[in-house]
Protein backbone atom coordinates (compact mmCIF):
# COMPACT_ATOMS: atom_id res chain seq x y z
CA UNK A 1 0.00 0.00 0.00
CA UNK A 2 1.53 3.26 -1.14
CA UNK A 3 0.66 6.81 -0.14
CA UNK A 4 0.03 9.14 -3.05
CA UNK A 5 -0.87 12.82 -3.23
CA UNK A 6 -3.05 14.04 -6.10
CA UNK A 7 -3.68 17.66 -7.01
CA UNK A 8 -6.64 18.86 -9.08
CA UNK A 9 -6.74 22.37 -10.51
CA UNK A 10 -9.68 24.75 -10.72
CA UNK A 11 -10.84 23.73 -14.20
CA UNK A 12 -10.97 20.07 -13.10
CA UNK A 13 -13.53 20.96 -10.38
CA UNK A 14 -15.33 23.81 -12.16
CA UNK A 15 -18.85 22.44 -11.62
CA UNK A 16 -20.81 19.69 -9.88
CA UNK A 17 -20.38 17.24 -12.78
CA UNK A 18 -16.62 17.64 -12.94
CA UNK A 19 -16.37 17.29 -9.16
CA UNK A 20 -18.21 13.97 -9.47
CA UNK A 21 -15.82 12.90 -12.26
CA UNK A 22 -12.77 13.81 -10.20
CA UNK A 23 -14.27 11.85 -7.29
CA UNK A 24 -14.52 8.77 -9.50
CA UNK A 25 -10.88 9.15 -10.53
CA UNK A 26 -9.79 9.44 -6.88
CA UNK A 27 -11.95 6.40 -6.02
CA UNK A 28 -10.16 4.46 -8.75
CA UNK A 29 -6.80 5.22 -7.11
CA UNK A 30 -8.17 4.24 -3.71
CA UNK A 31 -9.48 0.97 -5.13
CA UNK A 32 -5.93 0.08 -6.15
CA UNK A 33 -5.21 -0.01 -2.42
CA UNK A 34 -3.33 3.26 -2.09
CA UNK A 35 -3.80 5.81 0.68
CA UNK A 36 -4.80 9.02 -1.05
CA UNK A 37 -4.38 12.66 -0.07
CA UNK A 38 -5.98 15.11 -2.51
CA UNK A 39 -5.17 18.81 -2.85
CA UNK A 40 -7.78 20.86 -4.63
CA UNK A 41 -7.96 24.39 -6.08
CA UNK A 42 -11.02 26.66 -6.04
CA UNK A 43 -13.79 25.91 -8.55
CA UNK A 44 -13.30 27.52 -11.96
CA UNK A 45 -13.47 31.31 -11.72
CA UNK A 46 -14.25 31.48 -7.98
CA UNK A 47 -11.00 33.18 -7.05
CA UNK A 48 -11.39 35.88 -9.70
CA UNK A 49 -15.03 36.45 -8.67
CA UNK A 50 -14.00 36.91 -5.05
CA UNK A 51 -11.23 39.33 -6.01
CA UNK A 52 -13.67 41.34 -8.10
CA UNK A 53 -16.15 41.53 -5.21
CA UNK A 54 -13.39 42.72 -2.86
CA UNK A 55 -12.28 45.47 -5.24
CA UNK A 56 -15.87 46.63 -5.63
CA UNK A 57 -15.84 47.35 -1.90
CA UNK A 58 -12.28 48.60 -1.44
CA UNK A 59 -9.71 49.42 -4.12
CA UNK A 60 -7.00 48.49 -1.62
CA UNK A 61 -8.67 45.59 0.16
CA UNK A 62 -5.59 44.74 2.22
CA UNK A 63 -3.66 41.49 1.88
CA UNK A 64 -4.73 39.93 5.17
CA UNK A 65 -8.46 40.29 4.53
CA UNK A 66 -8.09 39.34 0.86
CA UNK A 67 -6.28 36.15 1.83
CA UNK A 68 -9.03 35.11 4.24
CA UNK A 69 -11.62 35.87 1.56
CA UNK A 70 -9.80 33.91 -1.17
CA UNK A 71 -9.17 30.94 1.12
CA UNK A 72 -12.91 30.24 1.16
CA UNK A 73 -12.76 29.19 -2.51
CA UNK A 74 -10.65 26.11 -1.83
CA UNK A 75 -12.65 25.29 1.31
CA UNK A 76 -15.83 25.16 -0.76
CA UNK A 77 -14.30 22.86 -3.41
CA UNK A 78 -12.68 20.59 -0.80
CA UNK A 79 -15.94 20.02 1.08
CA UNK A 80 -17.87 19.39 -2.14
CA UNK A 81 -15.25 16.88 -3.28
CA UNK A 82 -15.46 15.08 0.08
CA UNK A 83 -19.25 14.94 -0.31
CA UNK A 84 -18.89 13.55 -3.84
CA UNK A 85 -16.59 10.78 -2.57
CA UNK A 86 -19.05 9.92 0.19
CA UNK A 87 -21.82 9.72 -2.40
CA UNK A 88 -19.71 6.99 -4.06
CA UNK A 89 -19.48 5.16 -0.73
CA UNK A 90 -15.92 6.17 0.22
CA UNK A 91 -14.79 7.54 3.57
CA UNK A 92 -13.51 11.06 3.04
CA UNK A 93 -12.86 14.21 5.04
CA UNK A 94 -11.99 17.75 3.99
CA UNK A 95 -9.34 19.76 5.81
CA UNK A 96 -8.50 23.43 5.43
CA UNK A 97 -4.86 24.38 4.91
CA UNK A 98 -4.75 25.31 8.60
CA UNK A 99 -6.19 21.95 9.68
CA UNK A 100 -3.78 20.11 7.40
CA UNK A 101 -0.89 21.86 9.16
CA UNK A 102 0.36 24.00 6.27
CA UNK A 103 2.30 26.52 8.38
CA UNK A 104 3.53 29.61 6.56
CA UNK A 105 5.18 32.95 7.18
CA UNK A 106 2.91 36.01 7.44
CA UNK A 107 3.70 37.27 3.94
CA UNK A 108 0.04 37.61 2.91
CA UNK A 109 -0.90 36.84 -0.71
CA UNK A 110 2.50 35.26 -1.34
CA UNK A 111 3.26 33.28 1.81
CA UNK A 112 6.02 30.66 1.85
CA UNK A 113 5.47 27.31 3.52
CA UNK A 114 7.73 27.05 6.58
CA UNK A 115 6.75 23.54 7.61
CA UNK A 116 3.97 20.99 7.34
CA UNK A 117 2.57 19.58 10.58
CA UNK A 118 0.91 16.55 9.09
CA UNK A 119 -0.30 14.86 12.30
CA UNK A 120 -3.97 15.43 11.56
CA UNK A 121 -3.63 14.23 7.96
CA UNK A 122 -1.91 11.06 9.13
CA UNK A 123 -4.60 10.48 11.77
CA UNK A 124 -7.37 10.79 9.17
CA UNK A 125 -5.51 8.48 6.73
CA UNK A 126 -5.16 5.90 9.48
CA UNK A 127 -8.90 6.06 10.09
CA UNK A 128 -9.31 4.98 6.46
CA UNK A 129 -10.25 8.40 5.11
CA UNK A 130 -9.38 9.88 1.77
CA UNK A 131 -8.13 13.29 2.91
CA UNK A 132 -9.08 16.32 0.81
CA UNK A 133 -6.93 19.36 1.57
CA UNK A 134 -7.82 22.90 0.49
CA UNK A 135 -4.87 24.05 -1.64
CA UNK A 136 -3.28 27.49 -1.99
CA UNK A 137 -3.63 28.34 1.72
CA UNK A 138 -1.90 28.03 5.01
CA UNK A 139 -1.87 29.51 8.48
CA UNK A 140 0.65 31.54 10.46
CA UNK A 141 1.71 30.74 14.01
CA UNK A 142 -0.83 33.40 15.07
CA UNK A 143 -3.55 31.31 13.37
CA UNK A 144 -4.05 33.92 10.65
CA UNK A 145 -4.97 32.58 7.22
CA UNK A 146 -2.53 33.15 4.36
CA UNK A 147 -2.52 32.30 0.68
CA UNK A 148 0.54 31.09 -1.18
CA UNK A 149 0.26 33.18 -4.33
CA UNK A 150 0.82 31.86 -7.83
CA UNK A 151 1.28 28.13 -8.13
CA UNK A 152 -0.07 27.81 -4.61
CA UNK A 153 -2.01 24.57 -4.93
CA UNK A 154 0.84 22.87 -6.82
CA UNK A 155 3.11 23.91 -3.96
CA UNK A 156 0.70 22.67 -1.27
CA UNK A 157 0.57 19.29 -3.01
CA UNK A 158 4.33 18.85 -3.33
CA UNK A 159 4.96 20.10 0.22
CA UNK A 160 2.36 17.70 1.64
CA UNK A 161 3.75 14.82 -0.44
CA UNK A 162 7.28 15.55 0.80
CA UNK A 163 6.22 15.78 4.46
CA UNK A 164 4.16 12.57 4.22
CA UNK A 165 6.98 10.81 2.37
CA UNK A 166 4.53 10.01 -0.42
CA UNK A 167 5.54 7.72 -3.26
CA UNK A 168 4.60 10.32 -5.84
CA UNK A 169 2.78 13.63 -6.19
CA UNK A 170 0.35 13.50 -9.12
CA UNK A 171 -0.53 16.83 -10.70
CA UNK A 172 -3.85 16.14 -12.45
CA UNK A 173 -4.56 18.84 -14.98
CA UNK A 174 -6.11 19.58 -18.35
CA UNK A 175 -3.00 18.55 -20.31
CA UNK A 176 -1.77 14.98 -20.23
CA UNK A 177 1.91 15.63 -19.71
CA UNK A 178 4.98 17.64 -20.68
CA UNK A 179 5.77 17.85 -24.39
CA UNK A 180 8.96 18.31 -26.39
CA UNK A 181 7.56 21.74 -27.30
CA UNK A 182 4.34 23.65 -26.71
CA UNK A 183 1.80 21.49 -28.62
CA UNK A 184 -0.14 24.60 -29.59
CA UNK A 185 2.89 25.75 -31.61
CA UNK A 186 4.31 22.42 -32.77
CA UNK A 187 1.56 19.95 -33.65
CA UNK A 188 4.18 17.17 -33.96
CA UNK A 189 5.38 17.72 -30.40
CA UNK A 190 5.79 14.45 -28.55
CA UNK A 191 4.89 13.77 -24.93
CA UNK A 192 7.88 13.03 -22.73
CA UNK A 193 7.60 10.05 -20.39
CA UNK A 194 10.12 11.63 -18.04
CA UNK A 195 12.01 14.86 -17.53
CA UNK A 196 14.50 16.15 -14.93
CA UNK A 197 13.61 18.91 -12.46
CA UNK A 198 16.14 21.31 -13.99
CA UNK A 199 14.97 20.61 -17.52
CA UNK A 200 11.39 21.22 -16.41
CA UNK A 201 12.40 24.56 -14.91
CA UNK A 202 14.12 25.56 -18.15
CA UNK A 203 10.86 25.06 -20.06
CA UNK A 204 10.02 28.58 -18.78
CA UNK A 205 6.56 29.88 -19.59
CA UNK A 206 5.39 26.70 -21.32
CA UNK A 207 6.51 24.59 -18.38
CA UNK A 208 5.01 26.98 -15.84
CA UNK A 209 1.64 26.63 -17.52
CA UNK A 210 1.83 22.91 -16.77
CA UNK A 211 3.38 23.09 -13.29
CA UNK A 212 4.52 26.12 -11.33
CA UNK A 213 8.36 26.39 -11.02
CA UNK A 214 8.00 26.80 -7.25
CA UNK A 215 6.52 23.32 -7.01
CA UNK A 216 9.23 21.90 -9.29
CA UNK A 217 11.94 23.45 -7.11
CA UNK A 218 10.33 22.03 -3.97
CA UNK A 219 10.15 18.61 -5.65
CA UNK A 220 13.82 18.83 -6.49
CA UNK A 221 14.72 19.89 -2.95
CA UNK A 222 13.04 16.79 -1.51
CA UNK A 223 13.79 14.59 -4.52
CA UNK A 224 10.07 13.85 -4.76
CA UNK A 225 8.80 12.40 -8.06
CA UNK A 226 6.03 14.50 -9.60
CA UNK A 227 3.73 12.99 -12.22
CA UNK A 228 1.97 15.44 -14.55
CA UNK A 229 -1.12 13.69 -15.88
CA UNK A 230 -4.59 14.32 -17.21
CA UNK A 231 -7.52 14.67 -14.79
CA UNK A 232 -9.91 12.86 -17.09
CA UNK A 233 -8.06 10.49 -19.43
CA UNK A 234 -6.14 7.33 -18.59
CA UNK A 235 -2.96 8.67 -20.21
CA UNK A 236 0.29 7.86 -18.44
CA UNK A 237 1.60 11.42 -18.12
CA UNK A 238 5.14 12.71 -17.64
CA UNK A 239 7.25 11.94 -14.58
CA UNK A 240 9.42 14.78 -13.31
CA UNK A 241 12.22 13.38 -11.23
CA UNK A 242 15.89 13.67 -10.36
CA UNK A 243 17.41 10.44 -11.57
CA UNK A 244 17.27 10.91 -15.32
CA UNK A 245 18.45 7.67 -16.88
CA UNK A 246 21.88 7.44 -18.48
CA UNK A 247 20.61 6.87 -21.98
CA UNK A 248 18.66 10.10 -22.15
CA UNK A 249 21.58 12.22 -21.03
CA UNK A 250 23.30 14.36 -23.61
CA UNK A 251 20.16 14.62 -25.70
CA UNK A 252 17.98 17.53 -26.58
CA UNK A 253 14.77 16.92 -24.65
CA UNK A 254 12.60 19.84 -25.62
CA UNK A 255 12.27 23.24 -27.25
CA UNK A 256 11.01 26.18 -25.20
CA UNK A 257 10.06 29.71 -26.19
CA UNK A 258 9.02 32.97 -24.62
CA UNK A 259 7.40 35.89 -26.43
CA UNK A 260 7.66 38.33 -23.54
CA UNK A 261 11.15 39.66 -24.22
CA UNK A 262 12.39 43.24 -24.57
CA UNK A 263 16.02 44.22 -24.88
CA UNK A 264 17.95 47.24 -23.62
CA UNK A 265 21.48 47.95 -24.84
CA UNK A 266 23.70 50.55 -23.22
CA UNK A 267 26.11 51.38 -26.03
CA UNK A 268 29.67 52.56 -25.64
CA UNK A 269 30.21 52.06 -21.94
CA UNK A 270 33.68 52.64 -20.47
CA UNK A 271 34.75 49.12 -19.51
CA UNK A 272 35.73 49.38 -15.86
CA UNK A 273 34.72 47.32 -12.81
CA UNK A 274 31.35 48.10 -11.25
CA UNK A 275 29.72 49.45 -14.41
CA UNK A 276 27.26 46.52 -14.75
CA UNK A 277 26.34 46.82 -11.08
CA UNK A 278 25.69 50.56 -11.34
CA UNK A 279 23.25 49.90 -14.17
CA UNK A 280 21.53 46.76 -12.89
CA UNK A 281 21.24 47.49 -9.16
CA UNK A 282 18.65 50.28 -9.52
CA UNK A 283 16.54 47.93 -11.66
CA UNK A 284 16.60 45.22 -9.00
CA UNK A 285 15.63 47.80 -6.37
CA UNK A 286 12.67 48.85 -8.51
CA UNK A 287 11.52 45.23 -8.69
CA UNK A 288 12.38 44.85 -12.38
CA UNK A 289 13.51 41.33 -13.15
CA UNK A 290 16.43 41.22 -15.56
CA UNK A 291 16.77 38.00 -17.51
CA UNK A 292 19.58 37.51 -20.04
CA UNK A 293 22.66 39.71 -19.54
CA UNK A 294 25.37 39.92 -22.17
CA UNK A 295 28.47 42.09 -22.18
CA UNK A 296 30.33 42.15 -25.46
CA UNK A 297 34.08 41.79 -25.62
CA UNK A 298 35.70 45.10 -24.87
CA UNK A 299 37.45 46.99 -27.67
CA UNK A 300 39.60 49.94 -26.59
CA UNK A 301 38.11 49.76 -23.11
CA UNK A 302 34.68 50.49 -24.53
CA UNK A 303 31.95 47.86 -24.29
CA UNK A 304 28.19 47.36 -24.85
CA UNK A 305 25.97 45.99 -22.08
CA UNK A 306 22.76 44.28 -23.22
CA UNK A 307 20.05 42.75 -21.08
CA UNK A 308 16.45 41.66 -21.44
CA UNK A 309 13.36 42.44 -19.36
CA UNK A 310 9.67 41.62 -19.65
CA UNK A 311 7.93 43.78 -22.25
CA UNK A 312 5.61 45.29 -19.64
CA UNK A 313 8.61 46.56 -17.68
CA UNK A 314 10.54 48.05 -20.59
CA UNK A 315 9.32 51.65 -20.23
CA UNK A 316 9.97 51.74 -16.49
CA UNK A 317 13.41 50.18 -17.00
CA UNK A 318 14.34 52.74 -19.69
CA UNK A 319 13.36 55.63 -17.39
CA UNK A 320 15.82 54.28 -14.81
CA UNK A 321 18.64 53.34 -17.19
CA UNK A 322 18.80 56.48 -19.36
CA UNK A 323 20.03 58.88 -16.64
CA UNK A 324 22.53 56.26 -15.43
CA UNK A 325 23.84 55.77 -18.94
CA UNK A 326 24.36 59.51 -19.19
CA UNK A 327 26.09 59.69 -15.79
CA UNK A 328 28.61 56.98 -16.73
CA UNK A 329 29.30 58.64 -20.11
CA UNK A 330 27.81 55.83 -22.22
CA UNK A 331 27.39 56.79 -25.86
CA UNK A 332 23.74 55.76 -26.16
CA UNK A 333 20.95 53.66 -24.71
CA UNK A 334 18.62 51.80 -27.12
CA UNK A 335 15.74 49.37 -26.70
CA UNK A 336 13.87 46.80 -28.78
CA UNK A 337 10.51 45.51 -27.59
CA UNK A 338 9.75 43.08 -30.42
CA UNK A 339 11.83 40.11 -29.40
CA UNK A 340 11.34 36.52 -28.43
CA UNK A 341 13.40 33.72 -26.98
CA UNK A 342 13.86 30.16 -28.19
CA UNK A 343 15.77 27.49 -26.26
CA UNK A 344 16.81 23.89 -26.61
CA UNK A 345 16.92 22.00 -23.35
CA UNK A 346 18.62 18.81 -22.26
CA UNK A 347 20.76 17.65 -19.36
CA UNK A 348 24.51 17.77 -19.92
CA UNK A 349 24.12 19.24 -23.42
CA UNK A 350 26.73 21.90 -22.86
CA UNK A 351 29.48 19.29 -22.68
CA UNK A 352 28.77 18.48 -26.32
CA UNK A 353 29.40 21.66 -28.31
CA UNK A 354 27.87 20.17 -31.46
CA UNK A 355 24.38 21.05 -30.22
CA UNK A 356 24.99 24.79 -30.27
CA UNK A 357 26.39 24.64 -33.80
CA UNK A 358 23.42 22.61 -35.04
CA UNK A 359 21.01 25.04 -33.40
CA UNK A 360 22.63 28.15 -34.91
CA UNK A 361 22.88 26.53 -38.36
CA UNK A 362 19.25 25.47 -38.33
CA UNK A 363 18.14 29.01 -37.48
CA UNK A 364 20.46 30.56 -40.01
CA UNK A 365 19.24 28.24 -42.79
CA UNK A 366 15.71 29.52 -42.07
CA UNK A 367 16.99 33.12 -42.34
CA UNK A 368 16.43 33.76 -38.64
CA UNK A 369 18.84 36.30 -37.23
CA UNK A 370 20.22 35.64 -33.75
CA UNK A 371 20.53 38.79 -31.65
CA UNK A 372 21.83 37.36 -28.41
CA UNK A 373 22.96 33.97 -27.18
CA UNK A 374 23.02 32.71 -23.62
CA UNK A 375 23.56 29.29 -22.20
CA UNK A 376 23.15 27.38 -18.97
CA UNK A 377 24.23 23.92 -17.89
CA UNK A 378 21.26 22.37 -19.67
CA UNK A 379 19.99 25.05 -22.06
CA UNK A 380 21.03 27.04 -25.12
CA UNK A 381 18.94 30.15 -25.74
CA UNK A 382 18.79 32.51 -28.70
CA UNK A 383 17.06 35.89 -28.62
CA UNK A 384 15.48 36.50 -32.01
CA UNK A 385 12.85 38.65 -33.66
CA UNK A 386 9.45 37.93 -32.10
CA UNK A 387 7.86 37.34 -35.52
CA UNK A 388 10.22 34.39 -36.17
CA UNK A 389 9.73 32.53 -32.87
CA UNK A 390 7.12 30.14 -34.18
CA UNK A 391 9.31 29.24 -37.20
CA UNK A 392 12.29 28.79 -34.94
CA UNK A 393 10.51 26.42 -32.56
CA UNK A 394 9.31 24.36 -35.53
CA UNK A 395 12.68 24.08 -37.22
CA UNK A 396 14.51 23.23 -33.99
CA UNK A 397 11.95 20.56 -33.11
CA UNK A 398 12.54 19.03 -36.52
CA UNK A 399 16.31 19.44 -36.49
CA UNK A 400 16.68 17.58 -33.22
CA UNK A 401 14.11 14.94 -34.24
CA UNK A 402 12.07 15.54 -31.09
CA UNK A 403 9.01 13.93 -32.63
CA UNK A 404 10.97 10.68 -32.64
CA UNK A 405 11.42 8.70 -29.43
CA UNK A 406 14.95 9.20 -28.09
CA UNK A 407 16.16 5.67 -28.59
CA UNK A 408 15.15 5.74 -32.25
CA UNK A 409 16.86 9.00 -33.22
CA UNK A 410 19.85 9.18 -35.49
CA UNK A 411 23.01 9.58 -33.46
CA UNK A 412 23.34 13.18 -32.44
CA UNK A 413 24.62 15.77 -32.49
- The residues of the shown chain that bind a copy of itself, judged by CB under 8 A, are 16, 19-20, 50, 53-54, 56-62, 64-66, 68-69, 71-72, 75-76, 78-80, 82-84, 86-87, 93-94, 96, 98-99, 120, 143-145
CB atoms within 10 A of CB 193: 14
The rounded distance, in Å, linking the Cα atoms of 166 and 157 is 10
**C-beta closer to a copy of itself: residue 80 or 164:** 80
Q: What is the nearest approach in angstroms of a copy of itself to the Cβ of residue 59?
A: 8
Sheet strands side by side (includes 302-309): 290-295, 302-309, 254-270, 332-345, 379-385, 370-376
The rounded distance, in Å, linking the Cα atoms of 36 and 4 is 5
CB 383 within 8 A of CB 339: yes
What pairs with residue 379 in β-bridges? 345, 376
What pairs with residue 336 in β-bridges? 263
**C-beta closer to a copy of itself: residue 93 or 305:** 93
**C-beta closer to a copy of itself: residue 129 or 170:** 129
Q: Classify strands 3-8 and 168-173 as parallel, antiparallel or unpaired.
A: parallel
**C-beta closer to a copy of itself: residue 93 or 264:** 93
Q: What is the nearest approach in angstroms of a copy of itself to the Cβ of residue 108?
A: 12
**C-beta closer to a copy of itself: residue 19 or 396:** 19
Q: How far is CA 393 from its chain centroid?
A: 20
**C-beta closer to a copy of itself: residue 68 or 168:** 68
With left for phi above 0 and alpha for psi between -120 and 50, is residue 223 left, alpha or beta? left
Secondary structure of 252-266 in HEC code, one letter for each residue? CCEEEEEEEEEEEEE
What pairs with residue 3 in β-bridges? 35
Burial of 168 (0-12, 13-18, 19+ CB in 10 A): middle
Please state the length of the chain. Answer: 413
Q: What is the nearest approach in angstroms of a copy of itself to the Cβ of residue 197?
A: 35
Q: What is the nearest approach in angstroms of a copy of itself to the Cβ of residue 115?
A: 17
Q: What is the nearest approach in angstroms of a copy of itself to the Cβ of residue 127?
A: 13
Q: What is the nearest approach in angstroms of a copy of itself to the Cβ of residue 97?
A: 12
Pick the closest to residue 7 from 28, 29, 34, 38 (CA basis): 38
Q: What is the nearest approach in angstroms of a copy of itself to the Cβ of residue 107?
A: 17
Show Cβ contacts of residue 65 under 8 Å, excluding neighbours closer than 6 positions.
Answer: 54
Q: What Cα–Cα distance (Å) separates residue 241 from each residue in 4, 186, 289, 351?
A: 15, 25, 28, 22
**C-beta closer to a copy of itself: residue 89 or 367:** 89
Give the gyration radius of the chain's Cα atoms.
Answer: 24
Q: What is the nearest approach in angstroms of a copy of itself to the Cβ of residue 229?
A: 24
**C-beta closer to a copy of itself: residue 92 or 314:** 92
Q: What is the nearest approach in angstroms of a copy of itself to the Cβ of residue 257?
A: 40
**C-beta closer to a copy of itself: residue 56 or 285:** 56
Amino acid sequence: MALIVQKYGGSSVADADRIKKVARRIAWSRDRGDQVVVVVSAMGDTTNDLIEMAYRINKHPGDRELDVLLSTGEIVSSTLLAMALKALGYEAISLSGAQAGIRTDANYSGARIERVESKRVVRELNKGNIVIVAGFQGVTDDMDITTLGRGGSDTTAVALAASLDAEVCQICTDVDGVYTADPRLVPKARKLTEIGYEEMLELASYGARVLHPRAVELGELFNLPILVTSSFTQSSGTLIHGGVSMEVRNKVRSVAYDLDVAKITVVGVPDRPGIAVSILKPLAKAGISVDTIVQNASVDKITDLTFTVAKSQLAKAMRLVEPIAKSISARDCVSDSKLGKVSIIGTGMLNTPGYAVRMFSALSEKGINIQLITTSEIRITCIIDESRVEDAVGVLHETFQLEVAEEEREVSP
